[in-house]
Amino acid sequence: MRSSRAASVLVENEMIDSRTQDESGLVCAACEGDKEALQMLLKANWGWLKGLVYSVLGGAQDLDDVMQEICLRVIQRIRTLREPERFRGWLAVLARREAISHCRSRRPKAISLDGSPLPEHADDDVDDPAEDLERKELYGRVLEAVRALPEKYREVFMLAHSGELTYAQIAEVLDVPITTMQIRLVRARQMIRSQINGEKVQENERYG
């Protein structure tokens, strides 16, 4: 059993290393002006990147506009990247700065409860109207709970539920140790459950 588990971890690590090498090659090509390589990079990282920006904005308002601005910044600055293997971290910093800048420039507005969905939307094919209503109400409470999370917890939750990054990659994007990332994710899920259940939530800063 232990040898089988170790073999599985080894295979997964080899696959991650292979993807990292492939991505580094695309980054090198993009830095040399290869537009197709740049498009492939953006497409491959679009899901988690959108989740990260969503977490900074606190909702879907202006999300598409900010994503377009980030694309322009990447096109303008990709040549400044000196370490291709650090592309995701570089992209995360660029995106976060753009999103923060946008937040500072816009006037405060109320966030509606009928905003855009999280990366994974519940199935809409529900036959029972009562079940559909209950699902939508629960979904609305979850969405509102996610929006209410402190930013560092909202970020890790959105990245983890994008389904596109490993824990190690999420830690790299957030520039924190993997243990800190895991603690934040556990804490984020606890805070969401507590808010949905109407319990008092207290953030423990001592644990990440």
- pTM over the 0.75 mark: no
Cβ count near 50 (within 10 Å): 20
Query: If you compute the radius of gyration of the chain from its CA atoms, what whole number of angstroms results?
Result: 19
Q: How confident is the model at residue 138 (pLDDT cuts 50, 70, 90)?
A: low
pLDDT in tens, 85-126: 889 889 999 998 998 888 887 654 444 333 444 444 444 444
> What is the full DSSP assignment across 11-30?
HHHHHHHHHHHHHHHHHHHH
Q: What is the pLDDT of residue 10?
A: 43
Closest to 55 in 3D by CA, of 173, 200, 197, 182: 173
Two structure tokens written together for 40: 């492939």
What's the one-letter identity of residue 97? R
Q: DSSP class of residue 123? A: P
What's the one-letter identity of residue 54? Y
pLDDT in tens, 34-66: 999 999 999 999 999 998 898 888 878 888 999
Two structure tokens written together for 55: 């977490």
Mean pLDDT (whole number) for 159-185: 88
- Going along the chain from its start, the domains and CATH numbers come out as 1-106 (1.10.1740.10), 117-208 (1.10.10.10)
